[in-house]
Amino acid sequence: MSGTYLVTTFKDKDKVKALGARWDPARRQWHVPPGRDLAPFAAWLPAGQAEEAPTEPPQRALAAAEPQAGYALQTPPPRGVPLSRLLGGVAAAVSDAFPSAIWTTVEVVDVRMRGHVYLEVSERDAHGVVVAKANAVIWSGQAHRILPEFQQATGAELGPGIKLLVHARPVFKAQYGFSLEIDAIDASYTLGDLEARKREIRERLQAEGLWRLNQQLMPPWDYQHVLVVAPEGGAGLGDFQAEASRLERRGICRFLYVYSRFQGEGAAQEIRRELTAALEQIRANHPWVPDAVVILRGGGAVNDLAWLNDYALARCVCELPIPVLTGIGHERDNTVLDEVAHQRYDTPSKVIAGIERQIVQRAREAQALFEQLVQGAGRSIEQARRQTERWHQEIQAGARQDLGNARQRAAQWLATLHLEAVSQLRLAATRAQARRDDVRHLARQQLLLARRETPALLAEIRSESRAAVRAARAMSEAEMGVVRTQAGSELRHRRQTLEQLLAENRARAGRTLQEARASSQALLREIAGQGPEKTLRRGFALVRDPQGRAVTRASTSEQEVIIQFHDGQRAATLQQP
């Protein structure tokens, strides 16, 4: 479009329009159509063209120069050119240098939306130093068209730190200065920049052998202490705490919260600093370490989450000796932290749901083990009782049998002793009687011989007979004493042997009873040591219905239950999830 473009302000638009100027929507600037006189527009012409414009007729100039009646004024000659003309020349130079918009890459520093979208953009070198800076604007009519398309394509919103490829025209206005007027944004460039940043971090961690470190850790067997890192007051944190507080109130799991910014310059460094400081404090003040570290953030634009794509923060997560769980954004969102974490969840609510699911699984396993323990203890008690009864019966039967055998052997020994003693007495009596008969026979023979031979020998024979009788009687009595002594000694020896056997049998039976009693007591102590009370003291609870039966399934039809703890019981009401 040909013509002379004017340097105007917003308040001058009615004046130039009344003089015949036309509006150029492409350049967003007023211009004088070809063929029109430029003299009326001298105040708004660029500096170079203003000097060439025809001046007013001398008569009008003189009339304007004539002082009013009663006054004698002298106007000093003008020096230099007005600022508006100078800046108008700059505007014209910019307009001539960039008659149409071009594509340029920028990084957003600040955004203000007031119908129109005002931006502060810059360019940084490889060291992060700002080498260029300017203001930019997206007029409301353009913003309603290009911003929804950009957000739908990238999932990002205009905000500090995002890099854009924009179609913009440099514009200089005398009143507002230099700015870029943006009429298009290339969404593919922003997506490529965000993905390139993640790809660079991913390749660097893989080259250093750190990419899978945290994922190779053993998953938590159970959750008792969890360290949570999240932005303070965030909606995602609120969803997480709503369920976590329920676990804390019941003493099941303890959650320690650390707060940090999750977007903006330095957010990744602050997260890393707060996380490491919290772990050092836990190691210094507590005998335990967290079972897991949870990193939470609610949903947001892609560029808001892009602050988490930081190499130092990702490396810190990889090198943590504790499994890291992430719940960042929504299901469609993905950050480098999600990729290097031990386990990723789509949202903060799903993180606490996963933790609760693991705790419930362990509780059910513990309950099943407890029931197995109770059943095993019952079976062990019954087996021990039966074994004890069997041992008791065997010991009693053995003792009775040993006592019967001992009595039988004793009776046999006594009968044998009695028979031997009677036999010895009879033998001694027989021998004594035989010796008496012999003595009597010899005495008669000697007596007859003495009577026949000489009466003198009768007295001697009688005397010898009496001596022989006395000797035989003494010998018989001595032999009878020996027999009685031997019989008594043998009887005492047999009695002592019998008593010793009885004592050994009693001692053996006592030891057997004592060993059985000790074994039974040890079994009872072991069974008592594994009873429900100690299991409850370990932090478990037993859920029963009003009839006292154990509730083992979440799908129970019961609504009123009784929860048994180690120090008492509480009533509770089950609700449908």
pLDDT tens readout for residues 330-379: 777 788 898 899 999 988 999 999 999 989 998 888 888 888 888 888 88
- Average pLDDT, integer, range 451-463: 71
The residue assigned the tokens 């705490």 is 241
Q: Does residue 508 sit in the same domain as residue 549?
A: no
User: What confidence score (pLDDT) does residue 1 get?
Assistant: 47
Count of residues making up the chain: 577
**Which tokens belong to 341?**
């974490």
Residue 59's pLDDT band (cuts 50, 70, 90): very low
CA 170 to chain centre: 56
On the CB side of 14, CA atoms within 13 Å amount to 1
Does residue 267 share a domain with residue 148?
Answer: no
User: Which structural domain range is residue 549 located in?
Assistant: 541-573
pLDDT at 72: 41
Task: Specify the DSSP element, H or E, that contains 276.
Answer: helix 267-285
Q: What is the pLDDT of residue 146?
A: 86
482 within a domain of the structure (yes/no): yes
Rounded distance between C-alpha atoms, residue 455 and residue 449, angstroms? 10
Task: Look at residue 549 in the predicted model and tell me its pLDDT.
Answer: 84
Banded model confidence at residue 463, pLDDT cuts 50, 70, 90: confident
Whether the predicted pLDDT of 68 surpasses 60? no
**Judging by DSSP bridges, how do beta strands 116-124 and 102-114 pair with one another?**
antiparallel
Q: Looking at the structure, do residues 445 and 467 belong to the same domain, yes or no?
A: yes
Rounded to two decimals, the pTM is: 0.47
Considering the domain architecture, whether residues 277 and 311 belong to the same structural domain is answered as yes
Taking 90 as the threshold, does the pLDDT of residue 227 lie above it?
A: yes
Structure tokens at 463: 């005397």
* Banded pLDDT at 88 (limits 50, 70, 90): confident
Q: What is the residue-wise DSSP string for 153-184?
A: HHS--S-TT-EEEEEEEEEEETTTEEEEEEEE
Residue 2's pLDDT is 56
Q: Are residues 498 and 547 in the same domain?
A: no
**Tokens 């390139």 sit at which residue?**
196
Tell whether 302 and 220 lie within a shared domain: yes
- Residue 424 scores a pLDDT above 70: yes
Q: Please, is 228 exposed, middle or buried when counting C-beta atoms within 10 Å of its C-beta (0-12, 13-18, 19+)?
A: buried
Q: What are phi and psi of 173, to 5 degrees?
A: -120, 140
The CATH number given to whatever domain includes residue 236 is 3.40.50
Q: Looking at the structure, do residues 521 and 548 belong to the same domain, yes or no?
A: no
CA dist 388 and 398 (Å) reads 15
DSSP result, 477-537: HHHHHHHHHHHHHHHHHHHHHHHHHHHHHHHHHHHHHHHHHHHHHHHHHHHHHTSHHHHHH
The verdict on residue 370 lying in a domain is no
Whole-number pLDDT of residue 527: 65
- The answer to whether residue 356 sits within a structural domain is no
More confident residue, 84 or 321: 321
Q: What is the pLDDT at residue 513?
A: 81
Average pLDDT over residues 441-453: 77
Same domain for 441 and 509, yes or no, is yes
| Alpha-carbon distances, residue 531 vs 194, 381, 528 (angstroms) | 59, 12, 5
Residue 274 pLDDT greater than 90, yes or no: yes
Total domain count for the chain?
5
Q: Which helix (H) or strand (E) holds 30?
A: strand 29-32
What is the rounded average pLDDT of the residues 229-234? 90
Query: Domain check: are 276 and 393 in the same one?
Result: no
* 3-state class (DSSP) for residue 403: helix
Q: What is the 3-state secondary structure (H, E, C) of 39-74?
A: HHHHHHCCHHHHHHCCCCCHHHHHHHHCCCCCCCCC
Q: Is residue 367 part of a domain?
A: no
pLDDT at 131 over 60: yes
Mean pLDDT, to the nearest integer, of 120-149?
87
- Let me know if residue 256 belongs to a domain: yes
Strand runs labelled E in 260-317: 292-297
State whether 156 and 281 are in the same domain.
no
Give the per-residue pLDDT at 65.
35
206 in a structural domain: no
Within a domain: residue 519? yes
Mean pLDDT of 87-94: 83
CB-based burial label for 208 (10 Å; 0-12, 13-18, 19+)? exposed
**Average of pLDDT values for 117-125?**
88
Whether residue 197 is contained in a domain is answered as: no
Mean pLDDT over residues 316-325, rounded? Answer: 94
Between 462 and 134, where is the model more confident? 134
Q: Tokens 């999830």 correspond to what residue? A: 577
What value does the mean pLDDT of the chain take?
82
Instruction: Judge contact between 67 and 125, C-beta under 8 A.
Output: no
Angle of the 187-207 helix axis to the 311-319 helix axis, nearest 10: 40
Last residue of a domain, one of 59, 94, 129: 94
Which among 317, 288, 61 has a CA at the least distance from the CA of 211? Answer: 317
| Domain co-membership, 238 together with 141 | no
- Phi, psi dihedrals of residue 224, rounded to the nearest 5°: -120, -35
Higher pLDDT, 476 or 381: 381
Residue 76 has pLDDT above 70, yes or no: no
230 and 285 share one domain: yes
Average pLDDT rounded to a whole number, residues 13-25: 80
Mean pLDDT of 518-543: 74
In this predicted structure, the answer to whether residue 64 has a pLDDT above a threshold of 50 is no
Q: Which stretch of 31-40, 53-62, 110-119, 449-458 has the lowest confidence by average pLDDT?
A: 53-62
For the packed helices 235-249 and 348-453, what is the interaxial angle rounded to 10 degrees? 20
Q: Is the pLDDT of residue 102 over 90?
A: no
pLDDT at 384 (0 to 100): 85
C-beta neighbour count of 573 within 10 angstroms:
8
Instruction: Name the amino acid, one letter, at 158.
Output: L
Distances from the Cα of 445 to the Cα of 103, 431, 441, 465, 545, angstroms: 173, 21, 6, 11, 118
